[in-house]
Amino acid sequence: MSDGTANRWDADDYDDGHGFVAEYGASLVDLLDPKSGERVLDLGCGTGHLTADIAERGATAVGIDQSAEMVEQARAAYPGLSFRRADARSFTAEDRFDAVFSNAALHWVPGADHDAVIEAVADALRPGGRFVAEMGGTGNVDRIVTATLAELRERGYDRENPWYFPSVGEYATRLEAGGFEVRRAVLFDRPTELENGADGLADWLSMFGDSLFAGLADDEREAVVAGVEDRLRPDMFDGETWTADYRRLRFVAVRAA
Ligand code: BEZ
């Protein structure tokens, strides 16, 4: 999912070089456990692969994403499913859903806006409906963020972490304040091998880190990325593959009756 302003997505690149996002998401679909006849909303559906997995299990699945490019690609890949462009903070649903599902999307929404997200999700669910999601949790990609901000700072650019990675306590509290009962919430490390060998980290930064490099000339940007690689190579590159320090926050929350 994109926040629509900070990052311009290349939906082809997203699928080709970062397929692990949907692969890891498959186990979140297991946690969702969609049932035949249920209506499920996939919030931040990206290119729609998990929306399709949910539909294959017999549910009626609808995907929404902020990125027009992602929605276009999802529609082309899965013409039988319904996808539309919508903002996680303000979407509305004509008919209530049995579940709202979200994988690797919520951390793109600024922290200050998550009460609005939670309110929109609660409004979209029937009483007793479930919100099943995974996002970056506290400390997610901390080494990559720290190295990138340090490299930028050395070159005179003062930037901030563009993502929201909450702790279990923080997000569970927000969910409860928004009318949810939190049935499960867990933070765990998931070291993630990046695709494309020696270019894996540079590709990851290019795909996801656009906002960090806003306003930099191409050669300056390349120099920053090379500097980040130098800082992280000893700990994160084994000679063949980069491994990113992902940490996930997963939760299941049920809308109060
Ligand atoms: C994540 O899935 O944890 C993630 C993806 C892109 C940027 C930051 C975090």
Question: Domain-by-domain residue ranges, the chain?
Answer: 11-141+161-194+246-255
pLDDT at 147 over 60: yes
Taking the C-alpha atoms of residue 122 and residue 124, their distance in angstroms, rounded to an integer, is 5
Lowest mean pLDDT among 2-16, 46-60, 122-136, 204-218: 2-16
DSSP state of 232: H
pLDDT averaged over every residue in the chain: 94
Mutate to test the pocket of ligand 1, among 246, 248, 250 (most ligand atoms within 8 A of CB): 246
Whole-angstrom distance, CA of residue 194 vs CA of residue 209 = 14
Tell me the mean pLDDT in the region 29-53. 97
Following DSSP, what letter does each residue of 152-193 receive, concatenated?
A: HHHTT------S----HHHHHHHHHHTTEEEEEEEEEEEEEE
More confident residue, 128 or 21: 128
CB of 18 closer than 6 angstroms to any ligand 1 atom: no
pLDDT digits (tens, 9 = 90+) for 233-247: 999 999 999 999 999
Q: How far apart are CA 223 and CA 181, in angstroms?
A: 47
Does the beta carbon of 204 sit less than 6 angstroms from any atom of ligand 1? no
Residue 25: what pLDDT?
83
Determine the Cα–Cα distance for residues 6 and 8; give it in Å rounded to an integer: 7
- Residue 139 is predicted with a pLDDT of 98
Residue 67, pLDDT above cutoff 90: yes
Tell me, which fold does domain 11-141+161-194+246-255 have in CATH?
Rossmann fold (3.40.50)
Q: Is 140 in the pocket of ligand 1 (CB under 6 A)?
A: yes
Q: Is the CB of 129 under 6 A from ligand 1?
A: no
What gap in Å lies between CA 179 and CA 223, rounded to an integer?
Answer: 47
CB 48 within 8 A of CB 77: yes
Q: What is the mean pLDDT of residues 203-208?
A: 96
Q: Mean per-residue pLDDT for 199-226?
A: 96
Indicate if ligand 1 lies below 6 Å from the C-beta of 104.
yes
Q: pLDDT digit string (tens) for 16-27?
A: 666 676 777 889
Token code pair at residue 182: 């939190």
Predicted local confidence at residue 3, as pLDDT: 41
pLDDT, mean of residues 86-115: 97
Q: Report the pLDDT value the prediction gives residue 9, as an integer from 0 to 100.
A: 52
